[in-house]
Structure 1
Amino acid sequence: MKFKNRITYFILIIITIVLGLLSRHFAIIPLFIGDILWATMVYFIMWFLFINKPIKFNVIAALIFCFAIEFSQLYKAPWINELRHTLFGRLVLGDGFLWSDLLCYVIGVGMGVGVEKAILKRNRPQ
């Protein structure tokens, strides 16, 4: 059963990545949608990694990770700035700190909780 659940989360991660990347290619879609989807993906990754943990654990872990990445953007050492100028660095680490991104992350994790409850219909420990 655990294997099947991990496959489900893996599929949700891939779908979220595709949606997030597509959101950057259409000018009509606001940029903050990508930030929301990024946090949703992080939430699904937390479930993939910590499948037996309660919802609160995965919500807090996802938010801590997202917030840590955002606050790391205040660190401007040359080596990390060079990394941020690569595709991988830009997608994972971002470019610059924005307070509004923190709100996007909360919305994205909340969206992940909603998707999980609606689609997976699991009775997870709270």
Structure 2
Amino acid sequence: MAVGIDARGDEVAVEGWIKDSGIKVEELLKTLKNIGVKTIIYTDISRDGMMRGPNIAAIEKILDFGGFSVIASGGISSIKDLEKLAKLEGHGLDGAIIGRALYDGTLDLKSVLKMFYFKKGVCQNE
């Protein structure tokens, strides 16, 4: 099971990203850790669909919190963005969600798979 954290800045957003919850991301992480959550899907909603790159600093902060594997979401627009995220794999980053960049054709799924999966031997058939 993975728990999604949608954040605007350092505050959790709710109700379809319309409202700020008044809860800080770090506060929610403590709660989630205490109840045994292991995987977080983190979305910086100010970047989602904006093609401005992921919020690396916020992702690193969650990884530094410790105890979670993280799936990054929001803003991924290029191979360079994915390369930056790939550098965080050894620190607990387990994946990335790519949306608009695939829909718009900015990123080609076959190229992404070749670069990040086939090269590592995760997938055997190209």
Please tell me the TM-score bracket, short chain as reference.
under 0.3
Q: Which has the higher contact order (CA 8 A, sep 6+)?
A: 1
TM-score (normalised: structure 2) = 0.28
TM-score (normalised: structure 1) = 0.28
* Structure 1 or 2: more strand by fraction: 2
